[in-house]
Amino acid sequence: MNTRPNLVQLLARQAGRAGLLLLAAGVVVILLRPTDAAWWAARVLGLAALLTMAAALALRPTPDRPRRHNLLGWAALAALLGHIGVVAGLQPVFWRWLTWAVPVEIVTGFLAVAAFAAALAAQRPGRLRDRLGPILGHRVHRFAGYVLAAAAAAHIALVAGISVVAVVVILAGLAFLVVEGIFRERHGVALAATLALLTTAVAALSIAPLAGPRLEALRRSPVDHANFLHSDHPGLACAGCHHNFTDQTGNENCLTCHKRISTIEAMRIDRMFHAFCGECHRADKHAGKEFGPIDDCNGCHAKQAEGEKDARRAAQ
Ligand code: HEC
Ligand code: HEC
Ligand code: HEC
Ligand code: HEC
């Protein structure tokens, strides 16, 4: 029997490593982007989870290194739990996302968590493992690994405030990882079909008819003025923010009008305003000037005592 790895296997292995390198490069690009001091823990833990799980996928257990894969898997779990703990625990506004209007980028985050749970349950001794048996259990473990990497990469590529370069590099890294999986898995076609199906399901959340109920929920939620005060923004041209003053779209409040007009997912009020407010603050921080909150939810959404907020508004 021919024991030498054939060309396809060799290419597949290199594709996995190339994917890992690209993901690492994407992570470096993100780390170079300014953010708030309070957001660094969430960012670093999330990126560490992506890299360790992608490394576990690309570096499978071999007879001479049986434990490396397991260690990477446990490290990824620790980083993922830390990331969720920091965001959901320290940023209360996070829970407001859990409505029918949950943004697609958060859906991909939950998909990653579900895939992690499936990968773990299929591999650890237990009821699911017993029912599936070792061979099928192992296959579920590997498939869940690919779904996990894809969902995590999509989550990071979609969250507000990430540069185009980082998005392209991360998605290219993911593509290499998936290509290696399709070549390497005996059921490569089934893997490709699974990933395609999930991608379609997530994309469907952004278009009719599934987007309808989600947008309705978003419109019904009360306007959150997000601590915006003109007195924090002196000396800026009105029309720089108030495009409605120049394009004659009307003269009402930005948020109420935007809630009403937003008819497609791309115009979701939070994603659009997060980019509008946060990217100016990020550019100012980058330029070494005074800046406002960038990614730290509490910077804009902190629940101030209502009296204090009213007093700040009245003082303008
Ligand atoms: C940095 C962006 C920015 C700049 C610059 C800016 N605004 Fe605003 N303005 C906003 C935002 C955001 C709101 C909505 C705030 C809210 O609802 O909490 C707003 C609200 C208003 C409102 C209240 C609208 C309503 O009905 O609620 C008026 C009036 C207004 N701005 C006038 C001005 C004028 C005049 C200038 C120039 C001197 C100016 N703004 C400069 C961002 C800006
Ligand atoms: C009377 C309605 C109305 C008001 C008031 C209004 N906008 Fe808009 N805004 C629009 C419409 C309509 C568009 C174009 C939507 C599109 O391109 O699909 C738009 C587009 C934008 C965009 C570009 C979105 C993108 O990603 O292409 C930004 C940013 C924006 N508005 C910010 C603001 C801010 C900040 C205010 C208040 C200071 C404001 N808008 C007030 C209706 C309004
Ligand atoms: C055109 C640039 C620009 C835009 C757009 C902008 N900001 Fe700011 N923001 C600034 C600057 C500059 C400061 C710092 C002002 C200072 O401290 O002197 C600031 C400060 C702040 C602060 C105060 C932080 C503190 O330390 O008290 C808050 C809150 C804030 N911005 C919220 C928002 C929100 C919410 C939006 C979107 C509706 C927004 N900003 C849009 C430039 C911008
Ligand atoms: C730079 C300021 C800023 C930061 C930082 C920020 N937001 Fe926002 N956010 C806004 C503005 C402005 C809006 C639009 C106001 C609205 O929707 O009523 C908004 C809207 C939202 C909404 C939709 C509110 C609704 O029900 O319509 C949610 C949910 C939200 N943000 C969550 C978050 C989370 C979670 C974080 C941290 C990961 C965060 N925001 C960080 C400014 C900010």
Reading the chain (316 residues) residue by residue, the pLDDT tens digits are 455 567 777 777 789 899 999 999 999 999 999 999 999 999 999 999 999 999 999 888 888 888 999 999 999 999 999 999 999 999 999 998 888 888 889 999 999 999 999 999 998 888 888 888 888 888 999 999 999 999 999 999 888 667 889 999 999 999 999 988 888 888 888 999 999 999 999 888 877 677 787 778 788 888 888 889 999 999 899 888 998 776 666 678 888 888 887 666 666 788 889 999 999 999 999 999 999 999 999 999 986 645 555 555 555 5
> Tell me, what CATH number does 231's domain have?
3.90.10.10
d(CA 279, CA 91): 20
State which ligand 2 atom lies nearest to the alpha carbon of 256: 5
289 found inside a domain: yes
Residue 67's domain spans which residues? 7-204
Q: Whose CA is nearest to atom 30 of ligand 3?
A: 292
245 and 141 housed in the same domain: no
Residue 281 CA to ligand 3 centre (angstroms)? 6
286 found inside a domain: yes
Q: Which ligand is nearest to the CA of 259?
A: 4
In the three-class reduction of DSSP (H, G, I as helix; E, B as strand; rest coil), residue 65 is classed as: strand
CA 131 → CA 114, 118, 142, 187, 282, distances in Å? 19, 14, 17, 20, 51
212 found inside a domain: no
246 found inside a domain: yes
Strands (E), the chain: none
CA 83 → CA 78, 90, 253, 291, distances in Å? 9, 11, 35, 25
For residue 70, give the H/E element and its range: helix 68-90
Count, residues in the chain: 316
Q: Whose CA is nearest to atom 36 of ligand 4?
A: 297
d(CA 86, CA 43): 10
Nearest Cα residue to 216 out of 170, 166, 259:
259
174 and 47 housed in the same domain: yes
In the three-class reduction of DSSP (H, G, I as helix; E, B as strand; rest coil), residue 62 is classed as: strand
Global pTM exceeds 0.85: yes
Q: Whose CA is nearest to atom 17 of ligand 3?
A: 290
CB-based contact 284:290 (threshold 8 Å): yes
Domain's final residue, options 178, 204, 230: 204
Identity of residue 199:
T
Residues with CB under 6 A from ligand 2: 241-244, 249-250, 252, 254, 257-258, 261, 267, 272, 276
35 and 93 housed in the same domain: yes
The DSSP line for 112-161 is HHHHHHHHHHHHSSSHHHHHHHHHHHHHHHHHHHHHHHHHHHHHHHHSTT
Residue 296 CA to ligand 4 centre (angstroms)? 10
120 CB near ligand 4 (under 6 Å): no
Q: Which ligand is nearest to the CA of 283?
A: 3
189 and 48 housed in the same domain: yes
CA 284 → CA 24, 74, 218, 289, 290, distances in Å? 27, 38, 30, 5, 6
Q: Which ligand is nearest to the CA of 225?
A: 1
107 found inside a domain: yes
CB-based contact 145:53 (threshold 8 Å): yes
d(CA 34, CA 54): 25
Domain's final residue, options 204, 232, 263: 204
State which ligand 2 atom lies nearest to the alpha carbon of 266: 26
21 and 80 housed in the same domain: yes
